[in-house]
Structure 1
Amino acid sequence: MSDPSLNSLNPYLNGLYAPVREEASARDLPVIGEIPKDLHGAYFRNGPNPMSPPSGMHHWFDGDGMLHGVWFEDGRARYANRYVRTADFEAELEGSDAMPGIFAPSRRVDGRRTYYKDTANTDVIVHNGRLLALWYVSGQPVAVDAETLETIGVEDFGGDLPNNVSAHSKVDPRTGELVFFDYSLYEPKMSYGTISTDNRLIHFQEVSVPGPRLPHDMGLTENYVILHDLPVVFTDSAIRNRLWQIHVADLPTRFGVAPRKSGDVKWFEFPTSYIYHVINCWEEGDDVVMAACKMVPNGFEPDVASFGPYAPMATVLALRAQPFLWRMNMKTGKGAETQIDDGLSEFPVVNLDHSTGKARWSYHVVMDDCVLQRFSALRKYDLTTGVSEDHTFGAGVFGSEPAFAPTGPGELDGWLVTITTDLDGNSEARIIDPKNFSSPPVARIKLPKRVPAGFHATWAKAG
């Protein structure tokens, strides 16, 4: 039975975060403005959405995965939302006891060595013509139909997958290969591999790290993978004490650069920091370059009266990050870290057709509230000059991570698509011209349902 008093105090179950439990589909959505005729494809966004009221303490990251999709064709749009029906979701639906989450960790009843309910609620990518819903604690990738959002099932890549797959695994736009990473409490504590365009494992490599870590992302260039060994550890002790993560300040930040197909990992040390999200990675001569959003001290003192027992969660989730650049010279073994800008921004994306190469522009979310992660604007960065400009959503309107929809070979040839929701519960898909970024959207598509705040998004080309 749910606890209304606990749920009413949880900021991630109310307001912009309140879940929607009905699945819906709608066609020929009303449009303000005009949908570009060259926009063909779909925007998908993943996020946590508990299917029933939580019975106890609930962490934002524990909600069941729900995908929202907006499809565009010939100047028209349609919408659908569906739960990602993981094995744990189906078990609970059939009446099993609720699987453990961050505030109530324990071993899974089926014996798999994972402590939390696998929700596939974090990321969504496109590979081999299907969507893959992915989880931030490394779980089973779930294949989803890109036309209906119906769950197909666990993707094991022909039975070849030796481990799990983390959110923020990458698809190479040039080869179509999926490069994934995994981390665990158990050996191997870190690994990475490559899945071919015909869904077969073609490379897998275990990576030695000093102990269990909790990375969130990885980097990918044409020839290298960049793994993160960050000073945040994930241990049995932390789990027993109901701690989601422990920050170990006396450990350095390390990035491991390894050839994508074979070879040793070369490690580069930098001052202690944490990174949630990579902007892009590329190669310049002997340098492997990574742009990412680096966390900065938040100085947040939780308002206990406001957050009650959820004050520790709010403290950890306060998201304050700035864009930085790391250069790692494969010849000399030396690295250098520089700051791109001192403005706060996160959830960065680029035109994925230009990822793994030197993309010039990136698009980030800007928050008016770093604790509740309310995305009040988008920011476009010129990564060459550090110059930025903002696109604001308007008073009381908050967005989702955008996705770039390419329509031509140029890096700015295309459209940015995102979903916004206002404080009255009205949601829209918005189409923004990246060449006139600060201008109003060229089109606003009214959605039939409220879309709660969520996590990551992607664009799928038509066909």
Structure 2
Amino acid sequence: MAVELVKEYESSIKENDHPYMNGPWAPVHKEYNITDMEVIGEIPADIDGVYLRNSENPVHQPLGRYHPFDADGMLHMMSFKDGKAEYRNRFIQTRGFRAEQEAGESLWAGWTAYPVKSKRIGECAQDGLKDASSTDVVVHAGKVMTTHFQCGEGYRLDPYTLDQLGIESWTPIEGISAHTKVDENTGEMMFFNYGKYPPYLHYGVVGADNKLKHYIPVEINRPSLPHDMAFSENYSILNDFPMAWIPEMIEQDIFMPRYEADKPSRFGILPRYGNPEDVKWFEAKPTYVLHWLNAYEEGDEIILDGYFQGNPMPEPLKDQPKRYAMMMALVDLNSLQARLHRWRFNLKTGETIEEDLDDEVLEFGMFNQKYAGKKYRYAYSAKPKKGMFLFEGLVKHDLETGEKQTCMFGEERYGSEAPFVPRIGSKSEDDGYLVSFITDMKENRSECVLIDAQNIEAGPVCRIILPHHISSGTHATWANGEDIRAAE
């Protein structure tokens, strides 16, 4: 194993018992380049590309109450080609990260830190919050783009070296939310943002040439809290759930959500390049959805799959310290009762039909991105650990037959959502692998695993061992090497 320590960052974090600053969530403060790693099994020679995972990784002692989604972004990359792999990790050099590095301390309080206030407002924060760019990651136009769930600037990096390429030039003044959507079939990227001022929601399209092609307001009646969007071949799907910031508090830059169970969920569907007057709204059962899987068109209907929450505002966890109990409930997917669900929107009649696809608690789904916006058969969901924002395994659904397979990571081993990696020259939708970073608490290290997508119950076909652990986090993506090179 060849390990190059690129840089070590000095931490000011004090010892504490916060569950999301210890164990699988303990932060890492070293940046590495690693090659010739120990491999258990054999790295497949029939894949070519990069696996990228964003993670929440705080450097400085938080101001006030800490929420893991406030933390600095650290990107982890494993590249594959010709049966070999290379790993790198880098902090995402946002303006907020650099300001706090210069100050040697946290300058912004997190979104649950009330009544503690930030030491610095404005400058490089979104509505008084630091834009950590730590939530999501995609590859578009041959470059990485990271984003933050509270809407901020898009940050670009090189997909192989993780060199910082700066702020995305087309970033609107209202920012970019996490969960931009890349259509591999056209090269376009759809995005949205939300905020506390009317019209409260915007939607846009960026071309394959990374130029902003379309940007419109989408009017809703209050500052809502959308987290994700979806698209089909011809339409984009936005949402307005009955989960919104409390108006009298958001004016004080206090981000406290309130769930309104007596109001319906609303879905705004518009053509990909549609105008505000083209948005058609549909109503459905009240819920909240963090993440969608896929959407596609079938006759007059748009079919949308995602993770319906049966309990969007759960009670605090009783077995946790009082100071953490509410926060832990709101990131516990078992408490939220997230399950795979399907909505059918009839564009001709305006009718909505919905159904559960499984009653098991699941979230963070992935699928073969060549089928994005199209009818698809296979979905790969993460299986959450009860009581913690951690994932213990993966579940594969055959949406045609209803059959499913499960792969568990093992005792005290935690992974993430697992992007689908197509084999070179793949012949079918599930002809490829699932890839994930796994943190092994017994060994106090992490590894990258590849799992045969056609037989996930067999477990990893290879395990690539890292000498250190990776802090757990949120989202990940796969980008084909051929697509990256074609965009250069």
Aligned partners of 1:76, 1:3: CA distance in 2, in Å? 36
Q: State the distance in 2 between where 1:284 and 1:392 align.
A: 34
Asked if residue 295 in structure 1 is aligned to residue 303 in structure 2, the reply is: no
TM-score, normalised to structure 1, is 0.94
Identify the match of residue 191 of structure 2 among 177, 180, 183: 180
1:165 partnered with 2:176: yes
SS of equivalent residue, structure 2 residue 145: strand
Residues 91-240 of structure 1 aligned to structure 2 (within 5 Å): 91-95=99-103, 98-102=107-111, 103=113, 104=116, 108-110=121-123, 114-157=127-170, 161-239=172-250, 240=252
**Matched AA of 2:109:** P
Partner of 2:4 in structure 1? Answer: none
Relative to structure 1, is the Cα distance of residues 446 and 340 closer, same or farther in structure 2, using a 3 angstrom cutoff?
same
The corresponding residue for 1:411 is: 429
1:110 maps to a residue whose letter is E
> Is 1:376 equivalent to 2:392 in the alignment?
yes
Which of the numbers 434, 450, 458 marks the counterpart of 2:469? 450
Q: Which residue of 2 aligns with 1:357?
A: 374
Q: Using the TM superposition, give the Cα deviation of residue 105 of structure 1 relative to its aligned residue in structure 2, in angstroms.
A: 5.4
Give 1:162 shift: 4.9
Displacement of 1:235: 4.2
Matches of 2:12 and 2:253 in 1, distance apart?
23
The answer for unaligned runs of 5 or more in structure 1 is none
Shift of 1:409: 5.0
- Distance of aligned partners of 1:410 and 1:105 in 2 relative to their CA distance in 1, 3 Å threshold: farther
Deviates more, 1:307-316 or 1:11-20: 307-316
Q: State whether residues 269 and 335 of structure 1, in contact with CA within 8 Å, keep that contact through their aligned partners in structure 2.
A: yes
What is the CA RMSD across the aligned residues, in angstroms? Answer: 1.9
Q: Distance in 1 between matches of 2:272 and 2:61?
A: 43
Runs of at least 5 residues in structure 2 that lack an aligned partner in the other structure: 1-10
Query: Which residue among 359, 375, 389 is the counterpart of 2:405?
Result: 389
1:311 aligns with 2:325: yes
Query: CA-to-partner distance for each residue in 1:244-271, whole Å, 9 max, x for gaps?
Result: 3211222210011111112411111011
Aligned-residue offset at 1:179:
0.6
21, 29, 32: which one pairs with 2:29? 21
Q: Secondary structure, in 3 states, of the residue corresponding to 1:23?
A: strand
TM-aligned CA distance change 1:16 to 1:244, over 3 Å? farther
2:364 alignment partner AA = F
Which residue is 2:72 aligned to? 64
Q: Is the 8 A contact 1:166 1:181 kept in 2?
A: yes
The 8 Å contact of residues 105 and 116 in structure 1, kept in 2 or not, is answered as: no
Question: 1:235/1:115 Cα in 2 relative to 1: closer, same or farther (>3 Å)?
Answer: farther
Contact 2:126 2:150 in 1 (8 A): no
Measured against aligned partners, the alpha-carbon deviations of 1:195-228 in whole angstroms (never above 9, x if no partner) come to 0111111111110101111111001111000001
- Counterpart of 1:323 in structure 2: which amino acid? L
1:273 alignment counterpart: 287
**Preserved contact between residue 391 and residue 438 of structure 1 (Cα < 8 Å):** yes
What is the CA distance between 1:308 and its match in structure 2? 3.5
- Residue 361 of structure 2 aligns to a residue whose secondary structure is coil
- Counterpart amino acid of 1:44? L
Q: For the residues of structure 2 that align with 1:126 and 1:331, how far apart are their CA atoms?
A: 35
Using the size of structure 2 for normalisation, the TM-score is 0.90
Q: Which residue identity is paired with 2:45?
A: K
**Aligned equivalent of 2:41, options 30, 33, 38:** 33
Question: d(CA) in 2 for partners of 1:307 and 1:448?
Answer: 33
Judging changes above 3 Å, is the alpha-carbon distance between structure 1 residues 283 and 274 closer, same or farther for their aligned structure 2 residues?
same
Instruction: Measure how far apart 1:123 and its partner are.
Output: 0.5
SS for the counterpart of 1:343 is: strand
Q: Work out whether residues 361 and 381 of structure 1, in 8 Å CA contact, stay in contact via their aligned partners in 2.
A: yes
Cα gap change, 1:300 to 1:387, in 2 (>3 Å): farther
Q: Is the 8 A contact 1:185 1:235 kept in 2?
A: no
For 1:2 and 1:90, the matched residues in 2 are separated by 15
Secondary structure at 1:11's aligned position in 2?
Answer: coil
For residues 209 and 149 of structure 1, the distance between their equivalents in structure 2, rounded to whole angstroms, comes to: 38
Count of equivalent residues: 457
AA aligned to 1:328 is F
